[in-house]
Structure 1
Amino acid sequence: MITRFEELDWQTTPIGDLTLRRRTEPAVGQEIYEVKLGDEYLMSSLFTVAEEELSHLGLAAVSGDDLSVLVGGLGLGYTAVAALRDARVSSLTVVDRLGAVIGWHERKLLPVSAELVDDPRTRLVEDDFFALVRSAPAEGHPGYSAILLDVDHSPRHQLDPTHADLYDAAGLRALDRHLATGGVFALWSDDPPDQEFMVEMDAVFDDATAHVVDFENAVTGGMSSNTVYVARSRA
C-alpha cells in the first residue's frame, strides 16, 4: 500500500526550504510527485503537459539536425526528457541553481530520472541560469540551437526578484547572445499571454508567439492553461 504522504527529501536552500514528496492523489487514484519551496507549491507530476509542450513547441521552431539545447530549470525533469525524445537533439545541458534538485535525479527518485541521467547526451549543471545568460558566451561557443526556460511562475512573478531583469529587452538581448543563428528561445509561464512582455520579445526576436496550452485538470474537473512563448533569434 502506498502511504498518503511520503517526504523523499527536505533541504534548506538559498531561496527557502525545498521539499520533494510523493503522495496519492484521490482525484486520479495514482501516485504523484510534488515540489514545495517553503509553503509554496512549485510543481507537480500531475500537471506536465505544458512543461513538455515547452520542448515540443520550442524545438518545432528550430530547423536542422544536430541540435544543441540549453534548459533553464530542471524541476521534475519533464521538459528535459521531452527534448531528449527529439532525435535531432545531440546535446542537452540542463542548468539548475539548486544542487538538491540535480541530486534527486542522480539518485533516480523521480519517474523520468533514469531516462534523463542515463542518456549520454545529458549534462546536468549546478549554476544560476540568470547569471549565466547575463555573462558573455564562452569564446568559440557556437551558440545553442534552443534555450528552453522554466524557472519563474511568469515574466511578472519571479521566484527570486533578481531574475526580473531577464524579462525586459536588455535582458532578452543578453540571453540572445547565447543562441546560434536562427536559434529559438522558448519560455513557460503560468499566466495568460502578457502583451507587455510580448512588446519586449518583439523588440529583440523575430516571430514571437504566445501559445496557450490547455490541459485537463483532474483535481478541479475542468480545464487549466499555461502559456509557452516562442521566438527566433535575429542574429
Structure 2
Amino acid sequence: MSSRFEEIDWRETPMGAISLRRRLDPALKIDVYEIKLDDEYLMSSLFTVAEIELARLGLAALTGSDLDVVVGGLGLGYTAHAVLEDPRVRTLTVVEALGEVIDWHRRELVPLGSALTRDPRSHLVHGDFFAMAADADGFDPRTPGRRFHAILLDIDHTPRHVLHPSHAAFYTADGLRRLATHLHPAGVFALWSDDPPDEALQTTLVEVFGTAQAHRVEFPNHLHGGDSANTVYVASRPRTS
C-alpha cells in the first residue's frame, strides 16, 4: 500500500503555483491524483466521468473515420485518453498552457502519461488554447491553418468562472466564431462546465454553430455520499460552410 500523501511536484507558473499530489483515499483504498492551482482544485482522478463523457459525446456527434481532434487542456489526461480509445481517431492534438503539466505526462508521473505520450497519434502542444483559437494559424504549429473534425475544451471551471480574465472573451459569439473557423464543415465543438446547463450560453452556441445540446452528466460523489453533476455542451457546424 502506498503512503498516505505525496506532493509529487510543485512549481511556480505565470498563472500561480501548480502542484501534482497523490493521496491514499482511506474509504476506497485507492490512490487519488490531484492537480491544484494555488488553492483551487483543477482536477482529480476521483471524478473523471464527465471528462470522459466530453470525449464520448463530442465524438458521437461525428460520422465518418480518420478524425482529427483537438483537446484544449491536458490535466490528468482523461479526455485525451478517451479520444484515443475511439478507433476512428487519426490524430489527437492536445493544447496545454502549462509546460509543467506536459512534463508530468512525459515523465510518466501521472497514471495515463505513458498511454498519451507513446501513442503515435498523439501530439502535445505547449500553448495558449484561447490565443490559438483566435489566431488564423490555429492549433497545430506544424501545419498553420489546419482544420479539425472536433475541438473539445476543458480548461475553465465554467464559462463564467474562468481561470484567467483573458479567457472570458472566448465564450462570446465573436470568440466562438473565431474558433469555428478551425473546424471542418459538420465539425463539432464540445465544452465541459462545472455549472448546470446555462440557457444563455446554449443560445450563443446555437447562434454560432447552428445546433447545440447541453448534456447533464451525473456521477457518484464519494466525498459526500450522493451524486454530483457537470454539463457537457455539444455544438455542430452545418455540413456546408
Residue 224 of structure 1: which of 221, 228, 235 is its match? Answer: 228
In structure 1, the gaps of 5 or more residues are: none
1:72-106 Cα distance to aligned partner (Å, 9 max, x none): 00000000000000000000000000000000000
| Structural RMSD (CA) | 1.2
Matching residue of 2:211: 207
Shift of 1:27: 2.9
- Secondary structure of 2:186's aligned partner: strand
- Find the aligned partners of 1:149 and 1:17 in 2 and give their Cα distance: 22
Q: Post-superposition shift, 1:109?
A: 0.8
Q: Is the 8 A contact 2:136 2:145 kept in 1?
A: no
- 1:36 partnered with 2:36: yes
1:15-52 CA-to-partner distances (Å, cap 9, x unmatched) read 10000000011231211100110011111000000000
Aligned length: 235
* 1:4 matches 2:4: yes
Once the two structures are TM-superposed, the CA of residue 114 in structure 1 deviates from its matched residue by: 0.9
- Does 1:127 pair with 2:150? no
Say which is worse superposed, 92-101 or 1-10, in terms of deviation: 1-10
Letter in 1 for 2:157: H
Structure 1 residue 137: Cα displacement: 3.6
Kept in 1, the 8 Å contact 2:134–2:175? The answer is yes
- Shift in Å, 1:153: 0.4
| 1:192 equivalent in alignment to 2:180 | no
> Are the equivalent residues in 1 in contact too, given 2:54–2:190 (CA < 8 A)?
yes
The two structures have a TM-score, normalised by structure 1, of: 0.97
Match of 2:113 in 1: 113
Match of 1:145 among 146, 149, 154: 149
Structure 1 CA distance for aligned equivalents of residues 82 and 175 of structure 2? 26
Q: What's the CA shift string for 1:116-147, capped at 9, x where partnerless?
A: 11100000000000000001146874510000
Q: Which residue type is aligned with residue 183 of structure 2?
A: L
Question: Could you say which residue in structure 1 is the equivalent of 2:17?
Answer: 17
The 8 Å contact of residues 68 and 89 in structure 2, kept in 1 or not, is answered as yes
Q: Is 1:34–1:45's contact at 8 Å kept on the other side of the alignment?
A: yes
- 1:68–1:145 CA contact under 8 A, matched in 2: yes
Query: Which residue is equivalent to 1:48?
Result: 48
SS in 1 for 2:235: strand
Give the corresponding residue for 2:67: 67
8 Å CA contact 1:95, 1:124 repeated in 2: yes
- How far does the alpha carbon of each residue in 1:141-185 deviate from its partner, in whole angstroms, 9 at most, with x for none? 451000000000011110011000111100000000000111000
Distance in 2, matches of 1:207 and 1:7, equals 44
**Structure 2 runs not aligned, ≥5 long:** none
Q: Percent identity?
A: 57
SS of equivalent residue, structure 2 residue 6: strand
